[in-house]
Each structure stands twice: as C-alpha cells, then as structure tokens.
A and B are shown apart, each in its own frame.
Chain A
Amino acid sequence: MSHVALALALGLAGGTLAGLFGVGGGIVFVPALTLGLGLSQLSAEATSLAAIVPVVAVGSFRQHRSGLVDWNSAGIIGACSLVGVLAGAEIALNVPETALRRAFAVFLVLVAVQMALRATRQMRAVEA
C-alpha cells in the first residue's frame, strides 16, 4: 500500500476507534504514526497534535450546537494548558527517543487498565 493510502486508512480507522471507545485521537494516532508510518516517537507526537486539531474543531462545533460546552471554563483550561505544554515539550525534547517511546508505552498500558476496569465494572453491573 502506498504511504498516502496507508495514512488515510490509519486516520479513518484511528478516528473510528477513538469515537467508538471514547478515547482521544492522540492515543491511537501516535502508534499509527510510529509503527504504521515509521515516524520517530517525538515526530509522531508532534504530528499527532496537529492531526488532533481538525478532529477537535469539528467535535467542539458539534458539542457547541448541543449547548454542552462551558466556554468560559474551556477558555481557562485551554489558556492555562500553555504552561504545561511548554514544560511537557521541554521534557520530550530532552529525553532519549527510547525513553520517550517506553514512557508512552507505559501511558498506553495505564489507559488500557483504566478501560478494562470500567469494562469489568459494567459486566458486574449487568450480572447484579
């Protein structure tokens, strides 16, 4: 498969999984970009953030129409995230590539555990 076709397929599949499981796009995009398209971990993370922008823009617009967005709070959270972004980028830019990839892998496992716990709780609720 050509690079373009593969990227488009990964984007479509990644978005579907994100919507289906209620996880963010990034957690799917980063592995897609490293394992699928061969980007470095750092470049995959940077590119994932850019790929999130259109997804979030459309998502927010839809939620805004449903009247669910508290724009005042979103503004405060969003503005204050800049501090964290600068610090996080500084860390990511200065740790070795392998360490960053492994740290991401640990993060992925934590999200998986959280999802598995939620799933088992739902199963128990159904049985009870």
Chain B
Amino acid sequence: MRRLAALGGVGSAAGLLSALFGVGGGIVIVPALIARGWQAHRATATSLAAIGATAVFGTVRYAFDDLVVWRDALLIGLPAVVGVVVGTALAARVRGPHLQLAFACVMVVVAGRLAW
C-alpha cells in the first residue's frame, strides 16, 4: 500500500512537470526511484516506460486545445529516435565531465535566450 502511494505520488509529480514544461518527467521519476533503493539502470528503464503513458496523456490533453503541431512532432520525433540510439552508443565513449559541463553552459545560454 505504501509502495502504491509512493509510486502514485511520483507519477503525479512527474505528470505535473511533464505537462507544464513539455518534457517527459524522467528528471523526477529516476531520482525518486533511486532514492527508494532502485538500481540506476532499472530506474531509468522503468521511468522510460512510465513516460510513454505520461507523454500520450499530455499530447491528448493539448490536442483538445489544438496546440499540437503534428507535422513538426513527426519531423522531430522520428529522426530523434535514430539520434537517441546514436547518442546512447556514443555516450560510453565520449561523455566525460568536461563535455557535460560544456552542455550545461549551452543550456544556460539557451535559457537566457528564452527568458528575454
């Protein structure tokens, strides 16, 4: 029962963040599961599966208000599938702390562009 409540809480929080910002919500789910003693790999895989439902719910919700640009979603989503496979394969070889720092800086610059 406590497990059900905990997972339900994680799901609701992830859903809120997901719909509010157009992201999957893994950033909430993965750390929450790890904090509950899950192994990182299992937490990431399970989070991914849960996000499938979250993203579908969000898409359907926004489709009611006619906000989904389907053509762009396909044009971005389909090549992204290939990209993720390539990126994940590359990660083991090239992802070091320096590259992560560089990417973090890029994110801050993008955030600045969005804020102004």
Contact = CB atoms under 8 A, between A and B. Distances in A.
A85 B61 contact: yes
Contacts of A50: 55, 59, 68, 70, 73, 77
Contact of B12 (A33, A71, A75, A81): A81
B22 A108 contact: no
B113 interface: yes
Given A51-B77, A52-B55, A79-B11, A85 B19 contact: yes
Nearest to B23: A26
B79 A12 contact: yes
A101 B15 CA distance: 18
Interface of A: 4, 7-27, 29-35, 37, 39, 42-60, 63-64, 66, 68-71, 73-89, 91-93, 101-109, 111-113, 115-116, 118-120, 122-123, 126
Classify the interface of chain A: helix, strand, loop or mixed: helix
Contacts, number: 366
Interface of B: 4, 7-27, 29, 33, 41-42, 44-59, 61-63, 65, 67-70, 72-91, 94-101, 103-105, 107-108, 110-115
Nearest to A4: B75
Tell me which of B11, B90, B98, B113 has the highest count of chain A C-beta atoms within 10 A of its own C-beta: B11
Contacts of A35: 110, 113-114
